[in-house]
Structure 1
């Protein structure tokens, strides 16, 4: 199991949201650079960075300079997400040093963009499927569509997507445990690598994910609270 620690950024600060609600924001670390170094020192094999300003407000408030600084300092691959909706944004983030890019809303709403993105950056693209009650959410989780998450995953597989981050919004930030049934269904429905995200509270959840075949998991609040550790994690 590869545990991927998350650094979610609002105005340059490390935060966590509760169930994707921007009105329920908790600052979890003072300095993202210090936090990045701590994660790497503890044995992280990859870092997951989410630009929540970019996700909510778009290009005008994207934290490029901070992301570039974090990518340049990282000695492990960095995966970046948050409101990536154009090839120009993708190019700027890859120039900044991002190794993988997580596409969400744009992959759902703009098939031509997705095709162009995959043609240009196939190996670096990850599709983020954020769901509530099995339906895909968009625009920083503030809009829930009528699109079925499993059906959308199958569609992404047909496009040639190799990796999907699946987040149950109702679990995210709650430390109530991941949606094991939803993740199992997603894992069994497609051949893509499924990365678990949302609700992981301790090592028992990591073990439960391993049992259903999940090999990567993004962990946020539980890492910051010391409930899940990176030291000693084997691949």
Structure 2
């Protein structure tokens, strides 16, 4: 199991949201650079960075300089997400050093952009499916659509997507355990690599996910609180 620690950024600070609610933010670390170095020293094989300013407020607020600094320091691959809605943004983030890019809202709302992104950067494009009650959420999780998450995953698979990050918003930041049934259903529905995200509270959750065939998991609050350990989980 590859444990991928998350660094969520608002105004240059490491935060965690509760159930995707921007009004319920909690600062979890003082310095994202120091936090990145700690994660790598602890054995992280990849780090997941989310630009929440970019996700919510668009291109003019994107934290390119900080992301570039983090990518330059990192000695492991960096996955970046948060409001990526144009090929220009993809190119800037790749230039900044990002190895994988998570597309969410734009993958749903702009099929032309998605196809262009996959044509140019297929191996680096990851689709983020953020769901609530099985329906896909968009725009920084603030809008829930009528699109079925499993059906959307199958559509992505047909387009050649190789990796999907599946986040249950109702679980995210709650440390109440992941949506195991939802992840199992998603994993069995497509051949894409499914990356679990949301609600993971301890190493036993990691074991449970591994048993249903999940090979990668993004962990946020539980890592900051020491409930999931990169070294312990990988033993």
TM bucket by the smaller chain?
over 0.9
1:69 is aligned to 69
1:43 and 1:233 in contact (8 A); partners too: no
Aligned ranges 1:29-40 → 2 under 5 Å: 29-40=29-40
Per the TM alignment, residue 188 of structure 1 is displaced from its structure 2 partner at its CA by 0.2
1:121 is aligned to 121
Per the TM alignment, residue 234 of structure 1 is displaced from its structure 2 partner at its CA by 3.2
Per the TM alignment, residue 90 of structure 1 is displaced from its structure 2 partner at its CA by 0.3
SS in 2 for 1:185: helix
**TM-score in terms of structure 1 length:** 0.99
State how far apart, in whole Å, the 1-side matches of 2:16 and 2:111 are: 30
State how far apart, in whole Å, the 2-side matches of 1:137 and 1:58 are: 17
CA RMSD of aligned residues (A): 0.7
2:42 is aligned to 42
State how far apart, in whole Å, the 1-side matches of 2:232 and 2:18 are: 28
Instruction: Please list every run of 5 or more consecutive structure 2 residues that lacks an aligned counterpart in the other structure.
Output: none
Per the TM alignment, residue 233 of structure 1 is displaced from its structure 2 partner at its CA by 4.1
State how far apart, in whole Å, the 2-side matches of 1:78 and 1:203 are: 23
2:167 is aligned to 167
Instruction: Please list every run of 5 or more consecutive structure 1 residues that lacks an aligned counterpart in the other structure.
Output: none
State how far apart, in whole Å, the 2-side matches of 1:111 and 1:132 are: 22
State how far apart, in whole Å, the 2-side matches of 1:108 and 1:41 are: 37
Count, aligned residues: 235
1:210 is aligned to 210
2:206 and 2:233 in contact (8 A); partners too: no
1:9 is aligned to 9
1:24 is aligned to 24
SS in 1 for 2:156: helix
Q: Deviations over 1:75-117 (max 9, x none)?
A: 0000000000000000000000000000000000011100000
State how far apart, in whole Å, the 1-side matches of 2:40 and 2:78 are: 11
Matched, 1:197 2:202: no
1:104 and 1:138 in contact (8 A); partners too: yes
Per the TM alignment, residue 232 of structure 1 is displaced from its structure 2 partner at its CA by 4.3
State how far apart, in whole Å, the 2-side matches of 1:50 and 1:234 are: 23
Query: After TM superposition, which residue ranges in structure 1, 4 or more long, deviate above 2 angstroms?
Result: 232-235
Q: Deviations over 1:114-146 (max 9, x none)?
A: 000000000000000000000000000000000
State how far apart, in whole Å, the 2-side matches of 1:98 and 1:233 are: 25
